[in-house]
Amino acid sequence: MMKEQMDIVYEDNEMLYQTLDSWQALSNKAVLVTGGTGMLAACLVRFLVFLNQKDQLGINVVVLVRNQDKAKRMFAEIFHQITLVVQDVCEPVQYKGNIDYVVHAASSASPYHIKHDPVGIIKANVQGTLNLLELVRNKNIRNFMFLSTREVYGRVEDLEYLTEQDFGTFDPLDSRSCYPESKRLAETLLQAYATQYQVPYSCVRIAHSYGPVMFLNDGRVMSDLVGDVVHSRPIVLNSDGSAMRSFCYVTDAVSAMLLVLLKGEQGQAFNIANETEEISILQLSHLLSDLKEGTIPVKHKIVSDSAYCQYQRTKLDVAKIEGLGWLPKVSLREGLEKTLAYMEAE
């Protein structure tokens, strides 16, 4: 990792450290993080190692990944401080040690994979969750947190904000439904294991997170736009750019996740979103171009792609997570500056 990247990681870890007054709840605990090379999971892994370094907490950071070489590259500077489990979460999970907390982040939200590997999407969310629940149901864990999505709410009309109880409709034959429907079934599995085996759980329904180590050009709008900028390509919009979004920087999302894991009422779902800076895709494109001093042109190429969610945007109500003391701290401009600086240091 380059010095510029290490500086950004350290700054982000210090920001996360302010989430709680004390991290003693994690002292000498084992935390299993699946999908460890994903953006949110990787940020969490690095922070748990940071806690060990800063407060000598003795956390056993267990990281499940499919690709060992990728994990070695991503976590090169801390690789000797994590316990690596290399396997597909869709297979029975082979880990014999103690586990106190699970953060299940092994899944893909990429429109490319939704379009080309819908069965794989379903397996990771459903079979993967089932395998992990089977692993821990006799381990007396403290909490199992599942990373879900705002898309579980389906098509909801006539509401400005969605609370955790507001659900709309789905077409199960829509080719894109593999993603939200499998997330919904995974949430139902958690409740089933809580009912039958008393496995404690929490769900976090996350909307539009971004940041360093995010996958580029995977079909999600922020991923594609940042990918264009990092590679000095013109930004090409597949629409008129009028669609509105709000984006949550990775440390803001992870701080909310940690609050839910350690302080949230179990058996509940929590929305995680930064609704403070709504922006159109066109405005976002020009903001990214401005961060590169206007050297990245913005163009349009209108296409139709069923892999994109076509529902009208409804904001997420975040009162529940705010009740745990959470507020987003990173502005969109600051988050984009960090993201670009990190990626351009490669």
Identify the pLDDT of residue 306: 44
- Output 22 or 240, whichever has higher pLDDT: 22
Strand partners, 103: 33, 145
C-alpha closest to that of 202 among 213, 191, 218, 214: 191
Task: Dump pLDDT digits (tens) for 236-258.
Answer: 898 889 999 999 999 999 999 99
The Cα–Cα gap between 104 and 129 comes to 8
Task: Dump pLDDT digits (tens) for 150-186.
Answer: 999 999 988 999 999 999 998 999 989 999 999 999 9
Mean of the pLDDT values across residues 268-275? 98
Identify the pLDDT of residue 325: 97
8 A C-beta contact, residue 64 and residue 87: yes
Identify the pLDDT of residue 43: 98
Question: Does the pLDDT of residue 15 top 90, yes or no?
Answer: yes
The Cα–Cα gap between 45 and 113 comes to 24
Identify the pLDDT of residue 309: 52
Question: Does the pLDDT of residue 50 top 80, yes or no?
Answer: yes
Identify the pLDDT of residue 119: 96
Question: Does the pLDDT of residue 143 top 60, yes or no?
Answer: yes
Q: For residue 19, name the pLDDT band (cuts at 50, 70, 90).
A: very high
Identify the pLDDT of residue 300: 82
Identify the pLDDT of residue 104: 98
Does residue 179 have an active-site annotation? yes
Residue carrying the six token digits 């490669």: 346
Mean of the pLDDT values across residues 1-26? 96
Question: What tokens were used for 259?
Answer: 């609050």
The Cα–Cα gap between 48 and 26 comes to 9
Task: Dump pLDDT digits (tens) for 84-127.
Answer: 999 999 999 989 999 999 999 999 888 888 999 999 999 999 99
Class of residue 307 by CB neighbours under 10 A (exposed 0-12, middle 13-18, buried 19+): middle
Question: Does the pLDDT of residue 330 top 80, yes or no?
Answer: yes
Question: Does the pLDDT of residue 71 top 60, yes or no?
Answer: yes
Look over the chain and give the mean of its residue pLDDT values, rounded to a whole number. Answer: 94
Q: Tell how far CA 307 is from the center of its chain.
A: 19
User: How close are the terminal C-alpha atoms of the chain, in Å?
Assistant: 8
Contacts of 280 (CB under 8 A, 6+ apart): 241, 242, 243, 244, 245
Task: Dump pLDDT digits (tens) for 300-325.
Answer: 876 555 445 555 679 999 999 999 99
Contacts of 257 (CB under 8 A, 6+ apart): 40, 44, 103, 145, 147, 204, 272
Q: For residue 266, name the pLDDT band (cuts at 50, 70, 90).
A: very high
Identify the pLDDT of residue 108: 87
Cα R_g (the chain), whole angstroms: 19
Catalytic residue among 101, 153, 179, 201: 179
Least confident piece of the model among 20-29, 120-129, 135-144, 235-244: 235-244
Identify the pLDDT of residue 313: 74
- Output 271 or 219, whichever has higher pLDDT: 271
Q: Amino acid identity, residue 171?
A: D
The pTM assigned to this predicted structure is: 0.95
